Structure 1
Amino acid sequence: MKYIKFVYYLCALAMILSLGNVFINGDFSIEGPALLSNNWGIMSLVDLFAGILIFSTWIVFREKNPLVIGVLIVLMGLFGFLTASLYILFNLYKADGDWAKFFLGNKREMITEKWANTKK
């Protein structure tokens, strides 16, 4: 998990630097229409929002607190994959080397128990 954590630290840092640059130097009133008039710009936005939806589905699956789910989905909409990178980092530490706990979250015990029962 050490290497995976390093990768997500890099992702989070890249997102923080990029978002900072956009908030400081960007002007959406000028750049937004240019983005939306470009086919690749539209494709990038579709890809972004599809990715946010897919990642948010994983959040809904693994979390049990509706408030936490709601806050994380709003943060995904506002900050995109910076939120995802930080969420992954947080849960890598929380899982403490247990990949099933990382991927399944609060559903880990229920799913592994059901899986074990089907093996009998």
Structure 2
Amino acid sequence: MESSLRYGGDSKSLRIHAKEMYPIATDSNTLLQLHGELDTRLGAPTYLSAMIRHFYPDRESQGAAELNWIIFNFKKDQDLRFKVGYEVVDKIPYFQIKENNWTFNADGKGKWNVRYDL
């Protein structure tokens, strides 16, 4: 299960996020996806979904140029990763700073978020 604590500039509240995918057929391309988010300010779910997804071979073009710099043992038991990239199709620059479980993401459109992976 993917789970994380998230805070974004657009919401101004801490959210608990969880997502899990289960194969539902012998075909590994068909999955049941459960996805939800709880807003701690409201004390209520802000997003719930259950869907069956089938993944077809990707026909859309995507591309990005990225530079990564990883510093292992920056401090004792602490790794840092810096990522700077450019999404070619949407023409959006972005960057990421990741320290063990904490991640800060931002892009050229002014969107940003902070994430803690559980």
Query: How would you bin the TM-score normalised by the shorter chain?
Result: under 0.3
Q: Report the TM-score, using the length of structure 2 for normalisation.
A: 0.23
Greater percentage in helix: 1
Greater percentage in strand: 2
Structure with higher RCO (Cα < 8 A, 6+ apart): 1
Q: Report the TM-score, using the length of structure 1 for normalisation.
A: 0.23
